[in-house]
Amino acid sequence: MKIVDCNLFYGFLIPLNCGRVRVRKFYCTTNNNRDAKNPDILNIWFNSYLLEDFSVDSFDLIMELLWKKNMQLSQFCELYLASRFFCETKQMSRTIWLVRHGQRVDNVDKKWKDNNPTKWDDPELTIRGKQQAHEVGKHFANMNIEAIITSPFTRCIETSAQIAAMMENKATKICVEPGFQEPLYMCMTPPGVPSMEKIKEYSTQIDESYKPVFEKLPEEAKGDLGCADRVVKTFQEVAKKFPSGNIIIVSHGTPIANIHAFLKGHWKYVGQCTICKVTDMYGQSFRLDYWSDKKHLSQTHDLREDERNVPKLPSP
């Protein structure tokens, strides 16, 4: 006896980042085990996907529990319809990923800035930096990502382009957001970001229709805390611009550290091409799940995660 049509399972689960193979495995296993239909266990399984912590071990455990339980068709349909309503009313979570750009050329060539006086604040990635970005892209390749929102500096554009190139979903757009760029005190006046025409050379997935939070950056105080208000406002507004899908923000160490201060109350730096995971309860609250993760990188040394000291708050 079939519980529901397989296409319903696909339509229900694919938007939640579930791979088609796992969906079919779950569908087939559930349909073959007639007594394995407990709504509580299915709820655990469903929520594990929302939290994106699903594993093969948890799948096997849930299947074992399902086998020992009993669930009527009416119970399953009730859970299914409730879950559909839950998704459609967007009362669940989504993920905002934070990624710092890869290794920049002036990290290894100490004369680069002196030799490039007209763009000293806009170094490109090294070969290692591009490899780091490629490995970040591999990490996200099978995930359902709606958009990549990036600082306009070349090192972030290159990182974003590498990530987008690895994704199975070629509809993922790259949106250029000046609000996520470096603190102004670390930049030229005006900042030496490339033109949109130049940026488009890095990827065909650049979204020219995107309207940034900041067309022109406001004045800000010097120091690493000076950009905090601008970065936090950008973070909040970008979350509103993309209200339902998972997104990746590619930025710099200092802006991302200021996002950590917004989320957790204290400033914390990140390594190059490390990944941070933030769960967004659709505007109700943000939860930091992990910070500066580097397990996806083949080389985890010299990521410059201690490059900046924790800035001191200004005296009252």
Residue 161 belongs to some domain of the structure: yes
Same domain, 81 and 177: no
105 annotated as ligand-binding: yes
Q: Do the Cβ atoms of 237 and 228 come closer than 8 Å?
A: no
Residue 274 belongs to some domain of the structure: yes
pLDDT of 312: 66
155 annotated as ligand-binding: yes
Kind plus residue range of the DSSP H or E element containing 127: helix 127-140
Q: In sequence order, which residues have a C-beta less than 8 Å from that of residue 206 and are 6 or more positions away?
A: 173, 174, 176, 196, 199, 200
Same domain, 28 and 84: yes
pLDDT of 281: 81
Q: How many domains does the chain have?
A: 2
Same domain, 103 and 78: no
271 annotated as ligand-binding: no
pLDDT of 70: 52
CATH code: domain of residue 135? 3.40.50.1240
Same domain, 109 and 168: yes
For residue 117, the Cα-to-chain-centroid distance in whole angstroms is 34
Range of the domain at 193: 94-293
pLDDT of 313: 56
pLDDT of 311: 80
Q: In sequence order, which residues have a C-beta less than 8 Å from that of residue 269 and are 6 or more positions away?
A: 253, 254, 256, 257, 292, 305, 306, 307, 308, 310
94 annotated as ligand-binding: no
pLDDT of 67: 45
pLDDT of 60: 46
pLDDT of 92: 64
pLDDT of 211: 97
Residue 78 belongs to some domain of the structure: yes
Residue 315 belongs to some domain of the structure: no
Q: Pull the structure tokens for residue 270.
A: 């990140």
Same domain, 146 and 242: yes
Residue 303 belongs to some domain of the structure: no
Same domain, 70 and 127: no
pLDDT of 42: 52
192 annotated as ligand-binding: no
20 annotated as ligand-binding: no
104 annotated as ligand-binding: yes
Residue 313 belongs to some domain of the structure: no
Same domain, 233 and 135: yes
Same domain, 180 and 118: yes
Same domain, 101 and 83: no
- Alpha carbons 181 and 176: distance in angstroms, whole number: 10
Same domain, 127 and 268: yes
Note if the pTM is more than 0.75. no
Same domain, 162 and 71: no
Q: Per residue of the chain (316 residues), give pLDDT as tens.
A: 333 344 444 444 444 444 444 444 454 454 444 434 445 445 544 554 444 444 444 444 444 444 445 544 445 445 444 544 444 444 467 899 999 999 999 999 999 999 999 999 999 999 999 999 999 999 999 999 999 999 999 999 999 999 999 999 889 999 999 999 999 999 999 999 999 999 999 999 999 999 999 988 999 999 999 999 999 999 999 999 998 889 999 999 999 999 999 999 999 999 999 999 999 987 678 999 999 999 999 999 999 998 888 786 554 4
Q: Pull the structure tokens for residue 256.
A: 């991302």
128 annotated as ligand-binding: no
102 annotated as ligand-binding: yes
